[in-house]
Structure 1
Amino acid sequence: MFGQCSNAKNNIKIHTVDKTFRCELCDKIFRYISQLKIHMRIHTRDKPFKCEVCGTMFGDGSHLRIHAGDKPFKCDVCGKLFGNNSHLKVHMRIHTGEKPFKCETCDKMFGVISNLKVHMRIHTGEKPFKCDVCDKMFGDSSHLKVHMRRHTGEKPFKCEVCDKMFTRSSHLKVHVRIHTGEKPFKCEACDKMFTRRNNMKRHMRIHTGDKPFKFKVYDVMLI
């Protein structure tokens, strides 16, 4: 493999299939030849861009800019800055709502291909991320990260009003409604408002008569 990589520059063959460019070493497909050339540096280990401060070398000039804190590409909608134009283009889908990547199993759409790949694990059952403490498996590395806080006790999200700490930002968001009085969930039957969706669903059983929990009643003889 190393010999193959070292001779990669001499063995690059560009194949065009429907105006796309394929890497001969790993079969990855690119839309533009410039992207393929940058990608080839992974195989050749060519890193022509050097940080003048710490000497770290990079194969992509945009990676050097990110490393240096230089973010010349700005979102015109929200002002967020990016180290390269491709990251800005992906970000813009948040504002435009564009979702070009489709799950062939359930037709769900995604704005980023990496999110589609993570989603596919729901269908395949793949769980490549393992907790080293309890061996529980996860399909997403972020879920493992949150899970680990159960073992470490880490609670990085703090309520600015009462200083209560939380393991998840979503838990903090719900908690803050206690202080703000916000109740975003409304009962369609009686207009009662709730801070949590689960509380509203539980309340709805009053109107629907739904009793999801069944209990056996035993005859008890009192002596």
Structure 2
Amino acid sequence: MFTGIIQAVGRIASREERGGDARLVVDAGRLDLSDVAIGDSIAVAGVCLTVVAIDGTHWAADVSIETLARTTLGGLAVGAGVNLEKALRLADRLGGHLVSGHVDGVGQVLGIDDDGASQRWRFGLPRPLARYVAVKGSISVDGTSLTVNAAGEADFGVTLIPHTLAATTFGERVVGDAVNIEVDLIARYAERLAGSGSA
């Protein structure tokens, strides 16, 4: 489990194809790996991956065919920037919202407009996911916890403050880029409970 508060921007250092799967080696950048062990989870652009090797400031993860096909990880090139967050510990502050690291779909940057020192961003998302997106609700985009300020039938809007732009990969994104979307867990559970027919 994660919070959606990005701890560092890393880079894809290398990529090795392994019979349809891939092994990604990530340069952790400023992410402290001193308390990370083999088997721990780190979210990469919002995708929960398992650490299989650590070497100094680099760590590796094996990514399945399924994950490569259903997230943006399949299209990441060597050198690409990625948002990084270590798994939540029970004693940690929950600064964002509960994020599982299980991507619901791939969206797209549709628009970026200046709004004072901040920016208003609009994202497209698969229509089946739109019902889980509500104004003032939470959503994870490339692993970043964001507050929704506009919601449409196949798009939503957020405001990114200067800190978020500087501390994440959003500063490198342009209109047309693909992004990983994870809807709010609470919205999914609420729908499940509402449809269960039991009290």
**Fold-level match, TM-score > 0.5?**
no
Larger proportion of helix: 1
TM-score by length of 1: 0.20
Query: Rg: which structure is higher?
Result: 1
Structure with higher RCO (Cα < 8 A, 6+ apart): 2
More strand by share: 2
